[in-house]
Amino acid sequence: MLIQSGGGDVFAANAIYNALILNKATITGTIIGVCASAATVILMACKNRKIAKNAILMVHDPATVLRGSYTSEELMKLVEATDKVKKSIVTAYMDRLDKTEEEINQLMDAESWYVGQEAVDAGFCDEVIETGFQDNGFSDRSITDDVSYNFKNYLETSVPENIRKKVQDLSITPPKDRGTFSNKTTKKGNENMGEESTKNTTPVITDAAHLRSVYPDFINQIVADAVKAERERLKAIDEIASGIPGDVLTRAKYDEPISAADLALAQMKANNKAGQQTLNNIVDDLANSGASSVGTTPNAGAGGEEDKKAESEAKVNNFASFLGKDKRRGKRE
pLDDT exceeds cutoff 60 at 190: no
Find how far residue 160's CA is from the centre of its chain.
24
CB-CB neighbours of 105 under 10 Å: 16
pLDDT exceeds cutoff 70 at 88: yes
Find how far residue 44's CA is from the centre of its chain.
42
pLDDT band at 192 (very low <50, low <70, confident <90, very high): very low
pLDDT score of 137: 42
Sign, CA dihedral 154-156-162-166, equals positive
pLDDT exceeds cutoff 60 at 252: yes
pLDDT (tens digit, 9 = 90+) per residue, 174-189?
A: 444 444 333 333 334 4
Dist CA 226 CA 18 (whole Å) = 53
User: Taking each helix axis from N to C terminus, what angle separates 72-94 and 101-109, rounded to the nearest 10 degrees?
Assistant: 120
pLDDT exceeds cutoff 70 at 11: yes
- Give the side-chain half-sphere CA count within 13 A for 175: 12
Question: 147 forms bridges with which residues in the sheet?
Answer: 144
pLDDT band at 280 (very low <50, low <70, confident <90, very high): confident
**CB–CB of 5/43 below 8 Å?**
no
pLDDT band at 123 (very low <50, low <70, confident <90, very high): very high
Dist CA 75 CA 216 (whole Å) = 36
Mean pLDDT of 98-116: 92
Dist CA 81 CA 69 (whole Å) = 18
pLDDT score of 152: 59
pLDDT score of 134: 45
Sorted by where each begins, the domain ranges of the chain are 2-201, 205-277
Indicate the burial class of 314 (C-beta count within 10 angstroms; 0-12, 13-18, 19 or more). exposed
Q: What pairing do the DSSP bridges indicate for beta strands 48-52 and 28-36?
A: parallel
Dist CA 90 CA 104 (whole Å) = 7
pLDDT exceeds cutoff 90 at 142: no
Dist CA 165 CA 184 (whole Å) = 10
pLDDT score of 91: 93
Class of domain 2-201: alpha beta
Q: 27-31, 61-65, 143-147, 165-169: which has the highest mean pLDDT?
A: 27-31
pLDDT score of 194: 43
Q: 144-148, 285-289, 325-329: which has the highest mean pLDDT?
A: 285-289
